[in-house]
Amino acid sequence: MIINTGGRTDTVQYYSKWLLNRFREGFVYSRNPFYPNKVTRYELTPDKVDCVVFCSKNYEPILENLKEITDKFNTYFHYTITAYDKDIEPNVPAIDKSIETLLKLESITGKNRIAWRYDPVLLVGKYTIDYHLETFESMSKALSGHIDRCIFSFVEMYKKLSVNMPELKAISENDKIILARGLGEIAQKYNIYLQTCATSDDYERFGIHPSGCMTLDILGKANGVKFKKLKHNGMRKNCNCIETRDIGWYDTCPNGCKYCYANSTPQKALENFKLHNPSSPILLGEINETDTIQQGHQKSFLDTDQNLKLF
């Protein structure tokens, strides 16, 4: 089973103390987003978890204690660093600071376990095609040789964005082609493996690889282990990733990014943040008397026979 710590919120940046406590105690509770009174318990032990996947915009809060997890588990890290300033990402560190932190992360994990996420790509205000390409090249130059790959996607026009970012417009197909061609050329220039995320669009003619940013092949190669040959059902439309179990909760990320898919509004996230208890076994609030708790099914994806041959 793959544990995802950052699909619903930036657990690393805002809830590192809680996350470390959960791994120290060896278990975590996670609410069902569709049926909030249904709670699943997952064991956070190496015999039950094949790999721990992280996704954050700031790993600085956990670096000092990260080896508590990396020394025991297979891990993989998605680090989102975009071209946007405080007008779009109010509480995200500046680009230079983020790159500095990524290099610190690399010194702990090695480059093979780090994916740089440059997404979502959106065109609004000063963030033009030229702005993106210039910034992406500068960042690519700094990160070349320090990451496993780069993943990008174009913004999805979810309904909630009409409230949180009404000025945002869908990117035209022509602009997507211009951006994809430019990003592909830059990635090849700096020897960066570039791929898409959750899209059916084909940009392979620009040297861009298809979607699937959390596959068993990627996680296995990064950690030097073999996984079974299993079908990847994906987590959403056009997603080719392996199914994971997310231990976060929606509407809890205080980053305040205007394009956020996981928060209904920034205000709601800030309100929920106040309900967090680092000592609780669940991210938001506490376990209630009305909650129904079930043990999670934690089936291993590891190919035991192949891993025995490796070692």
Return d(Cα 188, Cα 183) in angstroms, integer. Answer: 9
Calculate the alpha carbon distances from 192 to 126, 128, 136 in Å.
26, 23, 12
Confidence of residue 200 (pLDDT cuts 50, 70, 90): confident
Averaged pLDDT, 13-31: 98
Return d(Cα 301, Cα 247) in angstroms, integer. Answer: 19
Return d(Cα 109, Cα 114) in angstroms, integer. Answer: 8
Q: Are 93 and 80 in contact (CB under 8 A)?
A: no
Question: Which amino acid is present at 225?
Answer: V
Confidence of residue 242 (pLDDT cuts 50, 70, 90): confident
Cβ neighbors of 78 (< 8 A, separation 6 or more) are: 6, 53, 54, 55, 56, 115, 117, 151, 213, 214
Read off the pLDDT of residues 49-72 as tens digits, 9 standing for 90 and up: 999 999 999 999 999 999 999 999
Domain count, the chain: 1
Return d(Cα 105, Cα 109) in angstroms, integer. Answer: 6
pLDDT at 183: 98
Averaged pLDDT, 178-184: 98
pLDDT at 163: 81
Q: How many CA atoms lie within 13 A of 230 on its CB side?
A: 18
Averaged pLDDT, 84-104: 97
Dihedral Cα 100, 60, 147, 141, nearest 10 deg:
-20
Averaged pLDDT, 251-258: 96
DSSP 98-147: HHHHHHHHHHHH-GGGEEEEEEEE--BTTB-HHHHHHHHHHHHHHHTTS-
Closest CA to 15 of 203, 275, 305: 275
Return d(Cα 52, Cα 2) in angstroms, integer. Answer: 6
Query: Domain of 200?
Result: 2-310
Output DSSP code: residue 245. E
Please classify residue 19 by burial: count the beta carbons closer than 10 Å to its beta carbon, then call 0-12 exposed, 13-18 middle and 19+ buried: buried
Closest CA to 172 of 132, 115, 121: 121
Q: Tell me the backbone φ, ψ of residue 15, rounded to 5 degrees.
A: -135, 30
Q: Higher confidence at residue 232 or residue 99?
A: 99
The pLDDT of residue 305 is above 90: no
Confidence of residue 11 (pLDDT cuts 50, 70, 90): very high
pLDDT at 76: 98
